A = this chain, B = another copy of it.
Amino acid sequence: MKHGAAGMARVLTLAVSLVMSFLLAPAQAADLAITGATLIDGTGSAPVRDAVVVIDDGRISAAGPRTDVRIPQNAEVIDATGRYLIPGLMDANLHLYLNRDLETLIKYEGRYHEIIIEAAQIALKTGLTTVFDTWGPRAPLVRARDAINAGEVPGARIYLAGNIIGYGGIFSTDFNAPAAQFVSRAFARRLDEMWEQGTGQDLLWAEPEKVRAAVREYTSLDVDFLKYGASGHALHEMRFISFSPRVQRIIIEEGHRAGLIVQAHTSTTESLDLAIEAGVDILTHCDVSGADTVLSDETIAKIAERGIPCSVIPVTQRRLEAMNAVDSDHWLPRYTANMKENQRRMIAAGVTLLVSTDAGITHPVLASEATGIGAVRVDPRTTLGEGHFNALVGLEELGMDPMAVLQAATRNIAVAYHKEQELGTIEPGKRADLVILDHDPLEDARHYRSIATVIKDGEVVAIEGLPVAPLISSQEVE
């Protein structure tokens, strides 16, 4: 009976998908033109008032002042007069599946890809046309990514790393070890394996060539880029340094051999320095230096000189104050204030910062039950659909130039991930990922929230209907 029902559910899912893919089907050969908006193309060029952008078969064919651009006769025209046109936003570091609570893990086992799609739709709805998922269950992420890319379901474009090399699974000490005793070992093992994929904590014991073999095996799976843990991610019981320099170099080598960008998670000053020296392409959390210290000028200067882009999580001053109001003795406000100070100094030193959030779908019921620091809901950073808006405000607060703020969430992320040929700016030949805003984002970063229209791959997204079939975000709080 169960199997029968499950079978029917699959049939039904397929049917829904077919209907959706019909509804979402491309408007065929019809061109699209957006007219009248102020164009901020993400290249750093000055905004162009009364601009026209023409889209042909999902890509931008022309962009410029109305006087310079011809609107094709058959083009559908979107009049955006008085509005602002920017490249589709990006998040350099989020986690579409972030739901480590047992209720979600157990209830939706086998359906994590649906939650990932839900997350990708929340992202898309809030202007994120492309997201870089830097930790999550690889197979469900691939399934969701492919469904979106195939046009079966709407959603932000996903690039994924899968597991963080050197981290254990959900029930390991890296994440939720205490919960392990409340599930069967079979379940814990099944899930741990889904996350680890051969790149778990065992590698931390291994000599270099064993690590090389494991990473090579992992690169043969379907992943879009690599991420390794230069440090652990807990603040207490920290693995200050996870991999030796020679092992870090091997991981990077293997990533590059497979044509992949390699990024490192760092959360201590020395793991940061080692990752820099090992030659990573992107530093994630380079702004983290613990609760009691900030980075030295030397370290910041080194990042700037080598031009390594950094994923940072710029929290708003308002949030920082809210945390202090709740518990100023807690280490987290100090830790966060140090991050903000590091960011400020990196901006001054010319480091390329990328907007990052660590966001996933915040479970409404669990959020309602949070206490202490965890209950601070002012300008949340890890809440999908909120985090990136707050991060943009956070950067503005630090004195970053408004145009640079925009680039931190668009062009610079594309460049960092080697996607600048396709994404990140509004230029002919690029994928037509665009956001139309009601208000000028260069005037006030809060205006990024004023989304009128999202266009992805040249098509207008029906954002009001997203997410289509929410499992998590729609749960009601009693």
A contacts, CB < 8 Å to B: 1-2, 4-5, 8-9, 11-13, 16, 101-103, 106-107, 109, 114, 173, 178-179, 182-187, 202, 204-207, 209-210, 236-247, 268-271, 273-274, 289-290, 292-293, 295-296, 298-299, 363, 365-366, 369, 468-469, 471, 477-478
Contacts and interface: CB of A to CB of B under 8 A. Distances in A.
Given A269-B207, A290-B205, A245 B245 contact: yes
Contacts of A468: 1
Given A8-B9, A103-B187, A244 B241 contact: yes
A215 to B, nearest CB: 15
Contact of A106 (B103, B202, B237, B478): B103
A96 to B, nearest CB: 18
Contacts of A237: 173, 237
A173 B236 contact: yes
B16 A12 contact: no
Contacts of A9: 4-5, 8-9
Nearest to A269: B207
Pick the most buried of A13, A183, A240: most chain B CB atoms within 10 A of its CB: A240
Given A102-B182, A207-B269, A239 B236 contact: no
Contact of A205 (B205, B269, B366): B269
8 contacts: A2-B471, A8-B9, A101-B183, A102-B102, A103-B187, A206-B293, A207-B293, A241-B243
Contacts of A13: 1, 5
A293 B202 CA distance: 10
B184 A103 contact: yes
Contacts of A298: 207
Nearest to A106: B106
Given A106-B106, A205-B292, A471-B2, A186 B242 contact: no
Contacts of A173: 236-237
Contacts of A187: 103, 365
Given A4-B9, A102-B106, 19 more contacts: A1-B13, A1-B114, A4-B16, A5-B13, A8-B12, A103-B106, A173-B237, A186-B365, A186-B478, A207-B270, A237-B237, A239-B239, A239-B240, A239-B241, A240-B241, A240-B242, A244-B273, A246-B270, A246-B273
Contacts of A247: 270
A361 to B, nearest CB: 15
A269 to B, nearest CB: 5
A251 to B, nearest CB: 13
A202 B289 CA distance: 12
Contacts of A179: 182
A110 to B, nearest CB: 10
A270 B244 contact: yes
A268 B205 contact: yes
Contacts of A236: 173
